[in-house]
Amino acid sequence: MTELLQVLVTMLFFPAGLFLLANAMFYQWIDRKLVARLQDRVGPPWYQPLADTVKLLANEEVLPFGVNKWLFIGLPIIGLAGALTTALYLPIAGLPPAYGFPGDLIVTVYMLSMLTLCLGLAGANTRDRFSMVGATRTLTQLFSYEAPFLLALLGPALAAGSWQLSDIMAYASGNWLLLTQPIGFVVVIIGLMGKLEITPFDAPEAETEIVAGALTEYSGRGLALFRLGQWVELVIGLTMIAAFYLGGIHNPLDYVIKTLFPLLIIAGLQTLMTRLRIDQTVGMWWRYGALLALVQWLLIFLMGGGQ
């Protein structure tokens, strides 16, 4: 009985579930506020993401003509669930992960991609032209940043000699991998921006070209879930970066400080860059991103980090 209760709490409140959602909204607000301040604007009040979500949930969900109803409704749920699941293997808020098994790193990374896949499918599911173009771009972008992103995340794993998140984190908490693997750090940060479709990688949802990309036909609940999923990914990504590259996470305060640091970098980069065309994004990732990640690997091997 207590075990069931424990599972329920893990799923619904902490670290997945409500806590993560609240956390995601908070980080989303910080990102928006930072960008606003960098752009010399006041920015939204702290409850804005919550207000947005509540408003969207209250809105009518329009089922567009000619879509597969089950996919249309199911995809946002699957995407969000995928993003939430990853939290089980990560030290959210500085507490030890709820679960873990050898190879959970790979599961986590693919769970994160699930949202993007769902996004792409959701776009392709509708008959809207903007959604179709957006979906194509989303998936194209997925295939361009995914490999370098994964390679860069595997860097710490190689150094730690394990593909289990808790092992890597234990290894990383002694070593600031930011110092030994700076290239990997850069690739991961930029990869995360690609994953979250943040400027300069926001071609898939470039509003001035294709309205809202794959999400054009979504309204109300579906849109809210997709958005929440993306914000959750932001938190997950930041947690991974902090745990892997910034000397591990030891307590809640440590967690906040170390996740806000990469968020500041992301907000800064976001402010200073222009949206890239999708062909430029792909070119950049394969020309530089993949190469950089490989160079990092080579360095790890040369330094004898790989076992």
Interface with other proteins (CB under 8 A): 36-43, 65-66, 127-130, 132-133, 199-200, 202-203, 206-211, 268, 271-280
Q: From the CB of 126, what's the least distance to other proteins, in Å?
A: 9
Q: From the CB of 144, what's the least distance to other proteins, in Å?
A: 14
Q: From the CB of 185, what's the least distance to other proteins, in Å?
A: 18
For the residues of 101-114, what is the DSSP string, one character each? -TTHHHHHHHHHHH
Cβ–Cβ contacts within 10 Å for residue 142, how many? 18
The span from the CA of 178 to the CA of 245, in Å, is: 5
The span from the CA of 217 to the CA of 188, in Å, is: 31
Residues 6+ apart with CB under 8 A from 54: none
Specify whether the CB–CB gap between 162 and 226 falls below 8 A. no
CB nearer other proteins, residue 94 or residue 134: 134
CB nearer other proteins, residue 153 or residue 198: 198
Q: Look up residue 286 and give its DSSP letter.
A: I
CB nearer other proteins, residue 154 or residue 203: 203
Q: From the CB of 131, what's the least distance to other proteins, in Å?
A: 9
Q: From the CB of 307, what's the least distance to other proteins, in Å?
A: 37
Residues 6+ apart with CB under 8 A from 107: 89
Specify whether the CB–CB gap between 139 and 131 falls below 8 A. no
What residue ranges in the chain does DSSP mark as E strands?
none
CB nearer other proteins, residue 123 or residue 229: 123
Q: Look up residue 200 and give its DSSP letter.
A: T
Q: From the CB of 267, what's the least distance to other proteins, in Å?
A: 10
CA nearest to 188, candidates 244, 226, 227, 235: 244
CB nearer other proteins, residue 41 or residue 287: 41
The span from the CA of 149 to the CA of 296, in Å, is: 12
CB nearer other proteins, residue 173 or residue 271: 271
